[in-house]
Amino acid sequence: MTARLWRACSAASSRIVLVVALVLALAVPASADVAVPQLTGRVVDQTGTLSSGDIAKLTQKLRDFETRKGSQVAVLIVPTTQPETIEQFSIRVAEAWKIGRKKIDDGAILIVAKNDRHLRIEVGYGLEGALTDVTARRIIDEIITPKFRTGDFASGISDGVDRMTRVIDGEPLPVPSPTVNFGNLDDLAPLFIVTLFVSIGIGGVFRAMLGRLVGSLATGGIIAVLTWLILGSVALAMGLGALGFIIGFIADLFSAITPGTGRSRGGSWSSGSSSGGWSSGSSSSDSGSFSGGGGSFGGGGASGSW
């Protein structure tokens, strides 16, 4: 009787433990890692901490630095990295964003977890000789966190980035190749305007002297050579040169048509007309036109809190 009672109590206890475990499992959902934010620009703020003006100034500063030095620096502000530590989250961001040039690995990311009151400077392999762990920690402790403690996040981040770029400037790195950002149509708009002006205006002189075909070819060639000499981009030079030839040739054809008749002044042919074009929105940031260059990270850098 006693043994039977003990077995019954034991079975009942096992059921109670199982029920409690199931209730706890349902009541406490499993924590998932924070998703790595999409790289939409040099400054990604998911907390609304920085104003649009702050982001624009910081973005321009980092863009100018990359143009001059070649290195890429990015800033990320998130509410939290929990359940991960900021070190674990930062390396996932670095591996996903690939800031810095491929095989040079000259990228760095300043990551701020605002609600956690933690931050980290993640450093690519190629910058570990200059932006050492000790140096990164001093930048955090002496430059950034004092401003954060007073609530001045914009100045803390801006001053921290300034110190990071000055340190990176001391690292001997390959000179950046002349490049044109094809992702930002606003940057290309002036080139199209100049090409249009040269093709129609100046190109008209060459077509008058050399004929329609040869004059248009000469105009396109001049545009291509000037583009290559100024910007150092062969692809862009060829593209604008071809565009200059086409614009000049078509402009000369239309100028030869007698208005209202659809016939050339020589009376030998007629043609319909078609139109087309493109438009582009503008933005104060480099959203959609910035991407990592393929840089690698190995966990170098430093973390801090405020």
Mean pLDDT by groups of 10 residues along the chain of 306 residues: 52 46 43 85 94 95 92 95 93 94 93 96 92 93 95 95 91 59 53 69 70 75 75 70 75 57 42 34 52 88 94
Q: Distance between terminal CA atoms of the chain?
A: 66
Tell me what pLDDT residue 191 has. Answer: 65
| Phi, psi at 37, each rounded to 5° | -65, 150
Closest to 245 in 3D by CA, of 196, 180, 185: 196
Per-residue pLDDT, 306: 94
Q: What is the pLDDT of residue 66?
A: 92
State residue 241's pLDDT score: 74
| Confidence (pLDDT) at 170 | 80
Write down the domain spans for the chain: 43-177, 185-264
Angle at the Cα of 119 (from 299 to 283), degrees rounded to 5? 100
Q: What are phi and psi of 101, to 5 degrees?
A: -75, 145
270 has which bridge partners? 263
CA atoms within 13 A on the CB side of 1: 0
What are the distances in angstroms from CA 234 to CA 180, 215, 240? 11, 22, 10
Return the sign of the alpha-carbon dihedral for residues 207, 210, 213, 214. negative
Distance CA 39, CA 279 (A): 24
Q: Which CATH number fits domain 43-177: 3.10.310.50, 3.40.30.160, 3.60.70.12, 3.90.1300.10?
A: 3.10.310.50
